[in-house]
Chain A
Amino acid sequence: MSDHRSQAARSPQDIVGGLALILIALLALYLVNHLPASGRVGFASGTAPRLFAYGLVGLGAMVMITGWMKEGPHIERFSFRGIIAILGSVVLFALMIRTFGLAVSGIPMVLLAGTAARDIRWKEALVFAIALTAFCGFLFPIALGQPIPLWPQF
């Protein structure tokens, strides 16, 4: 029994998770440090963020502690390919949309996103990217009159 307790990190998910929550809460506390913690009726702009952050520190610590006490699953490997392709494509869209318009930014976005799938077929992906962009371009700016730039704006 006692040697169980001496073992390191029995539930890595909870230990890392608890630690992450504590760090987020500490960041929040740092960011609201300049705001008053209490005002003339007890509550001020800094009260609620502080309360929630303290709560999060406490709960994060408890999650960590249970992580030491209890056996739990390991952290699965992160798929960096997915992160770069999926989130990268969204960021790319955000960066391009106002200057290049939907017609130009949609295609690279869909292509980049597509690389997240290991079974990507390039020809199919390209045709699909063009078709999808054309569909969105027709639907939102043209048919629905949305103020989304369609063509590049220089």
Chain B
Amino acid sequence: MKIHHLLGATAILALGTLGAMAQGYPTKPITVVVPFAAGGPTDVIARIVGEHMSKTLGQPLIVENVAGAGGTTGQARVAKAAPDGYTIGMGHMGTLGASPGLYPNLTYDPQKDFQPIGLAAGTPIVIVTRKDLPVKDFKEFMDYAKKNEKTINQAHAGSGSVSHITCILLHEMLKIDPNSIPYRGTGPAVTDLIGGKVDYICDQIVSVSSQVKGGTIRGLAIATPERSPALADVPTTKEAGLPAYQVSAWNALVAPKGVPADVMKKLSDALIAAVTDPATKKKLEDLGGVVPDAKGASPEALAALIKSENDRWVPLLKAKVKP
């Protein structure tokens, strides 16, 4: 009897919640799936952007960390989520750009299974070396790496990680195949770089900027067209002699396919309002993020970005990384 009553009451409550959903979106908290663990760069960006978006939307954005399999577990969850606008995802260069080249059993298609909301922030890749590597600048580094291909050690944060694949691209451009040492995450890799156990890493600016500024490692080049205010002393790859090397671990919001257009519009507007808000923008830039303008944060720009990134990474990784 009691169970019966309770189930009835629950059903009524549940129906009430469902009924409210149809009216002016959003009427309940929105879940942002972050496909990485709490505390990482993507998580922090999602929380900073989400905080401002919740002001515009009038409902909290709750971060749900679904880590696993290089972020593809969380990204797959977004693809399968109900297209009601209450589950969106903070995708990433790896999960949306490179994953089809890394995971043959991927359950989603970055271009077909999502509707783009917009780019939140790019986090440029910086090439950093141990502080006593005998090179003066990036040009010398390229020569050094070519000459010492057999003895030089590159570290990365694990197979398929941003630091792994971005260095694969670098090696492809330099036509070298050096020894690469895998670590479990960026932290231990950078620790051994500081300790001089390995020679260089390609990684997101936010993971290395404070160490470069503190002088425990050296930043040789940043892979963006312009220098980053967070690391103003580090030249761009263009200045340093490898202009083709342009890489950023961008983070972008996507929704599952099938979300109504008016809901998408609200989400996109809220994102643009967030990234153009001076305070939010400053927070992201302090971390080394490259914050898009209103046009750069538009759904169209993101759709184009996902396509161009797929074209760049998938063939390269299929050839270079055997799963």
A and B in direct contact, judged by CB atoms within 8 A: yes
Say yes or no: A107 contacts B3, CB within 8 Å: yes
Cα distance A152–B12 in the bound complex, in angstroms:
11
For residue A154, which residues in chain B have a CB less than 8 angstroms away from its CB?
Answer: 18
CB of B192 closer than 8 Å to a CB of A: no
Q: Tell me the smallest distance from the CB of A103 to a CB of chain B, in Å.
A: 6
Say yes or no: B2 contacts A126, CB within 8 Å: yes
For residue B135, which residues in chain A have a CB less than 8 angstroms away from its CB?
Answer: none
- In-complex Cβ contact of A147 among B6, B11, B31 (8 A): B31
CB of B17 closer than 8 Å to a CB of A: yes
Closest to A127 in B: B2
Tell me how many residue pairs across A and B have CB atoms closer than 8 Å: 28
Q: Tell me the smallest distance from the CB of A46 to a CB of chain B, in Å.
A: 14
Say yes or no: B62 contacts A145, CB within 8 Å: yes
Cα distance A154–B18 in the bound complex, in angstroms:
9
Say yes or no: B62 contacts A152, CB within 8 Å: no
- The B interface, classified by DSSP as helix, strand, loop or mixed, is helix
Whether A147 touches B3, Cβ cut-off 8 Å, given contacts A103-B10, A104-B10, A153-B82, is: no
Say yes or no: B6 contacts A107, CB within 8 Å: yes
Say yes or no: A152 contacts B64, CB within 8 Å: no
For residue B62, which residues in chain A have a CB less than 8 angstroms away from its CB?
Answer: 145-147
Say yes or no: B63 contacts A151, CB within 8 Å: no
CB of A56 closer than 8 Å to a CB of B: no
Say yes or no: B14 contacts A145, CB within 8 Å: no
CB of B133 closer than 8 Å to a CB of A: no
Say yes or no: A152 contacts B63, CB within 8 Å: no
Closest to B64 in A: A147
Say yes or no: B3 contacts A126, CB within 8 Å: yes
Cα distance A126–B2 in the bound complex, in angstroms:
8
